Structure 1
């Protein structure tokens, strides 16, 4: 088709702004609307719904979003591509067809399946596929628990095939987040499967817009400069036939699209300069950004290479129970007060096979002017194989009002957890991509198999040596965030964080200052971890992977920030020595 394809996002996760599709339909016309609803933990939650009721397991409120706009979508010829199918894409596809029939419009629905390999785990292991953990190398057979969800990450060629067959709405399960963009782009421009540079450019575009307002100022460390930050809009990717992309947004929406807001998403939840997808490996260190107009950032120069011979499989299993409760400590001797609460909580779990974490959130001010300036929250979290010890703990905490720290109180207006919830563990694995049964199912029942990639290559992340020290200069000790932006995220049990500077003059200082050892100094919690460091000169960014910071994953660790979203903002608050001329 002629001209660039305009792809607009309207969801970045399960629970995102439900009005986003209304906002997208009210804005400038686009060719494809994409909705990303799935995260690593989301499938486990949807799997539980599917087990209790086989007719469920998909994102039901997608139908509420779509319904009011069916006539306009049909009139405009807009396509809709979503991964809201979750554990039951065929069920959501059928529900969407019923909705369309009730509206009396002529839209066709297809779905993509094959990602759900839960029922094939025994077959795969018997065939020599160990499904070894990407973090530990242990085979799945050693996990010792029974998975309730196992989903392989699919590429975008099934989406392209569905659109090519005339589908107006394409419902997917666990395709990669970027596949929601690469599929439509490949269909629109009639790319070949070996057009690796173009596919890589689409993967990068998809990565930028997959998290919605992340690219328009949401969760941005420079949020104070973003207009309309209370409701930043959803991004649009305009992808040309050669892969050159412009990121923009609807003109009536809040937020902003700048080189920095796009950089923030580029360094989010990556494992290094090589961004692996089932269709292509994108080389993020080749991407160049340029502000080409108000709320318009051009991405160019992206190169790609053949995809890896494997694709990721996300497995989840229940491993027991967990509970969290909170109370407050005020005034002097906070550390001693927390220590006493910890001792009392531990005694309530005596004899149980349980894990306990008690920590204070915040610091009491010196000479406080208000009671709340002198108050910190004390968070108590515990996990156990059985529910009974946890119920004993929360009941016992409620009996400490007269026998614990001075000033003991809880927020009685906030509902405290009364019963434990299920604790779910995560197992990231790899499987050969050619054993995954990637299939498109059209509205007439026709099944279109999607072949594995014609070429693959094993991928190794490039290494970057520790930086050389700069020449001595007169410095001042200031928060790192005075000069650097940051964005952090999670990849299973690993946290990633990218830090970058807007001013080119500050780049030599940033890359020299931010060594792996300096990161360990800035973040003592990571001192004993394996830290992988990368540089992105085109983005003026240093990127770190903190292996194991999040335990085995966000669904099972005991951290207050379980998926590492605030790691970057913590680092920006740390003080470093900065050359005076950069200030």
Structure 2
């Protein structure tokens, strides 16, 4: 019988009502929820500093308060990584909640990912968490658990675990596991698979997109869909966009299997249904990724509004004045960005204005706080004509720094704590293989048809995001002709010309012919990760849309 796994959260703060919507919208076997982005681990780490009993996603507990009885009545099991830094604490809180609600629910959790006790090995970060795989979840489900809480597992593991338990897969059923990884990767970000953040959104009436469902077969193949009557759309395009999200090349490494994204085939399977087949898997690498978050210092910012004439001169004046005011206590880092948003002979004041953004960082909260704020405010009557800011500068706020490390998988405990309290050690993979890039496939024959000057987005879709300090940008074609043009035209050099911010950085291009897609990884574009706020778009979420807005000679 086909296994139906739904998702109700793509991040900590996603739509609160999604759990109930998924439970009432149609049949499900499992409901998953992904709450742990890189930034979330920093937030939970700061929560844990204030209260050692916290460190988990409190929103999830409130969602269960409204829906645990409903899930139990419908026989839907729940698997979530909302345990964050304290899965045992969340599991205990769920048992307490179940008692108050008068419902008997078997709760289990997975632990071992938290490597904070090995802090010296990693430079004493605030949080250190290894990405575990799916087999702890499998142990919990096989013991009869109806709610499974994890800490830092890979996002796709929330789907791989239920699928492996349901079908009885072994640890070396690599192709089936790879298929489940693909399904998990597609639905892990919630509504991004059902039309959210989609490049060609104007082609669909999105409304409020429903959350996605993966119907997984015994061989690991799947159909991506959503509950009938919900908003959004599930198309080959929306699924392709999510497949390209935050990956690198053909090999997608995980703790249970390395999935070959160059083997996948997508096909429509009815309205709002897309079938994914062909996934091939290989042994996982011998190491686990470890996400490290540390407090980097304090930051502050303000935005000066420059209106009318002499924009460059106004920007130069206020920059000179502010930096002179800070010379006795200069911040460790000061960054200026001028956005030329003004229009000539504008019909509104806003359209006549440009924005000059100033951001500072320092280890001393007074330097980034009162010293910077005071210097900015003191210029109010002493600087360029029309001086004002979008909001007054405030106190400094702490910022985080994200880095990744790798450790031997055999050095990381992986423990399933079953509903009866017994503990099961989950061994690392018996067979591993060092990760390497796939040799670039042959490129198609060059496109020889008629061209016209137009935005790239008129013929190409894109989706972008972050992995620590690196940006990922996937771009795909929707016809074979356009793919032939894309594969031979959008080289690394052309990519860097179109996006000048990337010109001085290392850029890798990966070719995925089966998806008519390229994926670009820009090393270092995001500095020390999203929490450090290194650039205007700190998670590179709109980097793909910037690329799509650039003009080139594209197929007519």
Q: TM-score, normalised by structure 2?
A: 0.97
Q: Please, which of 406, 413, 424 is the counterpart of residue 430 of structure 1? A: 406
- Alpha carbons of structure 1 residues 455 and 220: separation in structure 2 relative to 1, 3 Å: same
Out of 295, 310, 314, the position equivalent to 2:287 is 310
Spell out, residue by residue over 1:107-142, the C-alpha distance to the aligned partner (whole angstroms, 9 max, x if none). 1100110000011234xx4xxxxxxxxxxxxxx45x
Does residue 87 (structure 1) correspond to residue 88 (structure 2)? The answer is no
Residue 407 (structure 1) aligned with residue 386 (structure 2): yes
Instruction: Provide the residue aligned with 1:284 in structure 2.
Output: 261
Query: Does the C-alpha gap of structure 1 residues 471 and 277 become closer, same or farther in structure 2, counting only changes over 3 Å?
Result: closer
| Match of residue 172, structure 1, among 131, 147, 150 | 150
Q: Quick check: 1:200 aligned with 2:178?
A: yes
CA distance in 2, matches of 1:511, 1:385: 46
1:411-453, Cα deviation, whole Å (9 max, x unpaired)? 3xx5x45111112111200001111100011232100111111
Alpha-carbon distance between aligned partners in 1 of 2:427 and 2:198, rounded to the nearest angstrom:
39
Write out per-residue CA displacement over residues 368-394 of structure 1, whole angstroms, 9 at most, x where no aligned residue: 222222223222111012122222112
Structure 1 residue corresponding to 2:65, chosen from 32, 46, 67: 67
Cα deviation, residue 30, structure 1: 0.3
Measured after TM superposition, the shift of residue 297 of structure 1 is 0.4
1:506 equivalent to 2:482? Answer yes
d(CA) in 1 for partners of 2:482, 2:454: 14
In the other structure, the counterpart of 1:38 is 36
CA contact (8 A) 1:338 1:359 kept: no
What's the RMSD between the two structures over aligned residues? 1.6
Contact 1:467 1:515 in 2 (8 A): no
Measure the CA separation in 1 of the matches of 2:447 and 2:278: 33
Mapped to 1, the partners of 2:50 and 2:29 lie a distance apart of: 37
Specify every segment of 5 or more residues in structure 2 that has no aligned partner in the other structure, as ranges. Answer: none
Once the two structures are superposed, residues 217-250 of structure 1 have per-residue CA deviations (whole angstroms, 9 ceiling, x without a partner) of: 11111111222x2411110000000111000011
8 Å CA contact retained: 1:115, 1:173: yes
Q: Does 1:529 align with 2:505?
A: yes
Query: Are positions 1:295 and 2:233 aligned together?
Result: no
1:475, CA displacement in angstroms? 2.8
> Which residue of the partner structure matches residue 325 of structure 1?
302
Residue 11 of structure 1 and its aligned partner are, at CA, apart by 0.3
Query: In the alignment, is the contact (CA less than 8 A) between 1:356 and 1:383 conserved in 2?
Result: yes
Q: How many angstroms apart in 2 are the aligned matches of 1:473 and 1:341?
A: 52
1:394/1:418 contact within 8 Å kept: yes
After TM superposition, list the pairs within 5 Å mapping 1:537-576 onto structure 2.
537-576=513-552
Moved more, 514-523 or 329-338: 329-338
2:45 paired residue number: 47
**How many residue pairs are counted as aligned between the two chains?**
554
> How far off is 1:348 after superposition?
3.1
Give how far 1:341 is off.
Answer: 2.6
- TM-score normalised by the chain length of structure 1: 0.92
CA offset at residue 472 of structure 1?
6.3
CA–CA distance in structure 2, aligned partners of residues 20 and 471 of structure 1: 44
3-state DSSP of counterpart to 2:133: coil
Q: Which of 87, 93, 96 does residue 94 from structure 2 map onto?
A: 96
**1:536 Cα offset (Å):** 0.9
| Aligned counterpart, 2:200 | 222
Shift of 1:55: 1.0
Q: For the residues of structure 2 that align with 1:246 and 1:264, how far apart are their CA atoms?
A: 16
Q: How does 1:365-376 map to 2 (within 5 A)?
A: 365-376=343-354
Matched, 1:151 2:129: yes
CA contact (8 A) 1:151 1:174 kept: yes
CA distance in structure 2 between the partners assigned to 1:152 and 1:202 by the alignment = 21
- The correspondence of residues 455-470 of structure 1 with structure 2, limited to 5 A, is 455-464=431-440, 470=446
Match in the other structure for 2:321: 344
Match of 1:242 in 2: 219
Tell me the equivalent position of 1:274.
251
Q: Gapped runs of 5+ residues in structure 1?
A: 126-139
CA–CA distance in structure 2, aligned partners of residues 204 and 337 of structure 1: 52
Distance 2:166 2:293 in 1: 36
